[in-house]
């Protein structure tokens, strides 16, 4: 158990073993990522593709931190059931609403764990002929080094723990916790 620095409506300090990042730290890093994206896409129209549902928070904050114009679209895939380990099985739940042929696509992800989900998603998107295809992820776990793609914009590397908050859930809960914390294993064991 630990004391979460800022717990609001969702008082979850007792469910965490550690707070990895405060909301302030997350927002500071999002701002830095936005400046990199502003610079790299200064002369290109970028389409941000969010992966539901985990990426809603980073998409909302990152898009509003950008100074360049952007468009947004969403995909929904599912790789986790109610457990805490990647199943490796990706289910496609919702496709994009727009054609990405010749578009500059930046996929916005909450977390890369094994990278299986993104790897599958990127090859699917690449087959549609985008002008460019890059990844922005807020968090990345160590196993992701084995993934067959690179993450161009990264928030933070984190330890190999099951984390919640800032869009990340356990069994549908904790997404609206504004920091990022390690979920106490007593919750899922």
Sign of CA dihedral 39, 40, 44, 47: negative
Helix (H) or strand (E) holding 23: helix 23-40
Question: Is 61 part of the annotated catalytic residue set?
Answer: no
Mark the segment that binds ligand IMP (CB under 6 A) among 28-36, 39-47, 97-105, 163-171: 163-171
CA–CA dist 120, 16 (Å, integer)? 31
Task: Supply angle C-alpha 49, 72, 111, rounded to 5.
Answer: 35
113 near ligand IMP (CB under 6 A): yes
CB of 123 to ligand IMP, least distance (A): 13
Q: Is 61 exposed, middle or buried (0-12, 13-18, 19+ CB in 10 A)?
A: buried
CB of 182 to ligand IMP, least distance (A): 9
Contacts for 179 with CB less than 8 Å, ≥ 6 apart: 4, 5, 6, 19, 20, 21, 22, 23, 26, 165, 166
Taking the least distance from each CB to ligand IMP, the nearer of 63 and 117 is 117
Mark the segment that binds ligand IMP (CB under 6 A) among 25-33, 62-70, 109-117, 124-132: 109-117
Number of chain residues interacting with ligand IMP (CB under 6 A): 17
Select the residue interacting with ligand IMP from 37, 116, 154, 180 (CB under 6 A): 116
CB of 101 to ligand IMP, least distance (A): 25
Residue 156 · residue 139 · CB < 8 Å: yes
CB of 12 to ligand IMP, least distance (A): 14
Positions 37 through 96 that interact with ligand IMP (CB under 6 A)? 54, 79-80, 86
Residue from 61, 113, 169, 184 carrying the catalytic annotation: 113
Query: Which residues have a catalytic role annotated?
Result: 113
């Amino acid at each position: 158990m630990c004391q979460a620095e800022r717990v609001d409506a969702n008082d979850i300090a007792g469910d965490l073993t550690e707070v990895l990042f405060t909301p302030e730290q997350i927002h500071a890093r999002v701002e830095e990522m936005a400046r990199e994206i502003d610079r790299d896409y200064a002369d290109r129209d970028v389409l941000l593709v969010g992966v539901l549902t985990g990426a809603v928070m980073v998409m909302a904050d990152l898009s509003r931190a950008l100074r360049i114009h952007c468009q947004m679209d969403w995909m929904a895939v599912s790789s986790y059931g109610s457990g805490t380990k990647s199943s490796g099985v990706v289910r496609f739940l919702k496709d994009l609403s727009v054609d990405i042929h010749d578009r500059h696509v930046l996929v916005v992800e909450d977390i890369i764990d094994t990278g299986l989900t993104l790897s599958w998603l990127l090859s699917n998107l690449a087959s549609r002929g985008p002008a460019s295809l890059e990844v922005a992820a807020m968090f990345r776990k160590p196993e992701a080094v084995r993934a067959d793609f690179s993450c161009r914009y990264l928030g933070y590397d984190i330890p190999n723990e099951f984390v919640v908050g800032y869009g990340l859930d356990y069994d549908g809960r904790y997404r609206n916790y504004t920091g990022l914390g390690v979920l106490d294993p007593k919750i899922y064991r």
